[in-house]
Amino acid sequence: MKTSRMNRKPRSARATKKASAFALAGLTVLATAVSFAAFEPALPPALAQQTAGVFVPGFWDPKRRPERPESGRLTTIRFLTEEDYPPFNFKGPGGQPAGFNVDLARAICAELNLVCTIQVRRFNTLLDSLNDNRGDAAIASLAITPQNRARADFTDRYYRTPARFIARKEVLLDQITPEAIAGRRVAVVAGTAHEAYLRDFFPETVIRAYPNVETALAALKRAEAELMFGDGVALAFWLNGTGSANCCVFRGGPFTESRYFGEGVGIAVRRGNENLRRALDYALFRVWEKGTYTELYLRYFPISFY
């Protein structure tokens, strides 16, 4: 059984290389502000913040402070990750694993005052490796889905990938609602949750479905479409890389309907390992509370995908 990274189709090798290029190019771009639409806000305002012009999401309620669990015999955490999903996971200097997930794992270990190791595995083998006791926790943008919950337990989510609209700059819209873009030509990748969402909630748009993200973006650049609806992370890096030629901008805010776009991403542990799961949840809260999560987010996502 394949492990779902997010609510989308598995990437081909070519798509992976192009996604990597988008991501690495985006890491060098300065931050810009992102506006929200009233149609479907992603998070309660109290759980998010605007820092240096970048919207930083938050998934922890300060009124629900978790207690530090008893560590018991927990002295080491063997994290498993992958290196083919920048900027979340990639091969860093000297071939060592790097990325947002890797630095977050290190921050968790520092908070718990535990020794950690980080081992690289192929993405589709992570949960098997976890269940074969070749690691204790997998932190590699694993989606919290019913399929994955059947194979592992998960911490609280620590990020989620919203769906976003981007538009050609001449398309002036303050908000994205079904009424606001009725009759507009919208590009989307065929067979994805994004296409299903458009057809269910934006039926008056002229939906142009393309076989992959590259052809959909090319259609937007050619003005064959006026907007595109897709994965917020990939779109953020494309907008701020050379491939977009400065043609387009985000319009409206994020869409996070879990039935279409998943519950988010968490750290996976073996089923029944409640002590470790609770320790990780406590550490995630503390990393967020201390501001370390915000520092990491701004480092890796100077162009917010929210």
DSSP-assigned states of every residue in 262-300:
-S-EEEEE-TT-HHHHHHHHHHHHHHHHTTHHHHHHHHH
d(CA 90, CA 28): 16
Q: Is the pLDDT of residue 82 over 60?
A: yes
For tokens 């997998």, name the residue.
138
* CATH 3.40.190.10 segments of the chain: 13-27+59-160+263-300, 163-255
CA 217 distance to own-chain centroid: 20
Question: Residues 90-115: what's their mean pLDDT?
Answer: 95
Instruction: Quote the pLDDT of residue 174.
Output: 83
- The string over 271-290, giving b where at least 16 C-beta atoms fall within 10 Å of a residue's C-beta and e elsewhere, is eebeebbbbbbbbbbbbbee
Read off the pLDDT band of 305 (50, 70, 90): confident
CATH classification code of 13-27+59-160+263-300: 3.40.190.10
Q: What is the pLDDT of residues 196-214, one digit of tens each?
A: 999 999 999 999 999 999 9
Q: Does the pLDDT value for residue 35 go beyond 70?
A: no
pLDDT tens track for 149-161: 999 999 999 999 8
CATH code: domain 163-255 is 3.40.190.10
Q: Rounded to an integer, what distance in angstroms lies between the CA atom of residue 18 and that of residue 269? A: 31
- Per-residue pLDDT band at 17 (split at 50, 70, 90): very low
- What b/e string do you get for 121-145 counting C-beta neighbours within 10 Å, with b at 16 or more? bebeebbebbeeeebbbbbbbbbbb
Residue 302's DSSP bridge partners are none
Average pLDDT (173-179) is 92
- How far is Cα 4 from Cα 151, in angstroms, rounded to an integer? 12
| pLDDT band (50, 70, 90) for residue 231 | very high
pTM (2 d.p.): 0.75
What residues contact 4, with CB distance under 8 A and at least 6 apart?
Answer: 143, 145, 147, 148
